[in-house]
Structures are given as C-alpha cells and as structure tokens.
Amino acid sequence: MQEVLDSYQSLVGYHDLILHKYGPNKMFATVDVEVDARWDLIEAHRVIDSIEKEFDERFGIKLVGHLDPEGLDDDEQNEVYANVKRTLKSYKEDFHFHDLRLEDEKVIFDITVPDNIQMSDEELYQIIVKDLSKVLQDYEIRIHFDRNYFLKE
C-alpha cells in the first residue's frame, strides 16, 4: 500500500494510513494525502479518486483519501520545513513529519515515530525541541506524536 502511494510522484506526501478490518473479508482504509495548495481542486480530486480506485482494484480495500493542502509557495514555511527535515534526518531514524504550519510565533507539526523507538513522547519532545531551537530560535515548537497503527499479523 505504501508502494502504491509512493508511486504518485505528484504528491507532496501522505500520512496516517490506517486500516480498518470488519470481519474476515471487509477492509477499509483512510489516508491523508498531501498536495501542493496551488493545485486546482478538480486535479486534486482526480488524483485522490485514482488512488482510491487503485486500492480497490489491487487490494480489495475501500479507501477514503483526505486532502491536506501544503503551502509550498511560502518562503518562511519552506525554510522552517527544511530545518525540521534536516534535524529529524540527523537522528538516522525513519522519522516522518506532516501537517507543519506556522501560527504566530509557533511551529506546529506531527511526527510519526518509528516502531523501534522506545523513548516516550516527552523524552523525544525534549531532544527534538533542544535541537530545533538552535535553528528556529524565534519560534515556540509544538509537536504531536503519532505512533504506527499498522496491523502486525
């Protein structure tokens, strides 16, 4: 499923892919699909429809895609985004972040925590904020942590 989503090069990204199982033969899924906010709504709808159709055809799963527009034309947000990405990648873990936004003097975003990370959200928060504060001194940093919801069978 992740490979299917990754194959859509026009997407900025995706997150919160959640599978819902209802009995032995009924699977539904939801996913947040990140697209450039400058996209025409008809184009965004067409791409999400295509993804939903592919999930149904390949996996027999009814998918509902939620559109998350990303403001890629904002220089300040792009700089903050790059700093967050660089900091998280420096940990050499598979951290993914999403829903980054700037509100007043705050940077707010979500992080999907890799399964192999044993630290609590509070421990992670302290480490990440310490490192991000070095490059984002003018911002208060707020992070929401997501844990992986994939079924392990």
pTM of the model: 0.68
**pLDDT tens-place string over residues 114-129:** 888 889 999 999 999 9
Mean pLDDT taken over the chain: 89
153, pLDDT greater than 70: no
Q: Which one-letter amino acid corresponds to residue 121?
A: D
Separation between Cα atoms, residue 62 and residue 41, nearest integer Å: 22
Backbone angles phi, psi at 65, to 5 degrees: -95, 130
Q: What is the pLDDT of residue 13?
A: 86
**pLDDT tens-place string over residues 44-96:** 999 999 999 999 999 999 999 999 888 777 888 889 989 998 999 898 777 88
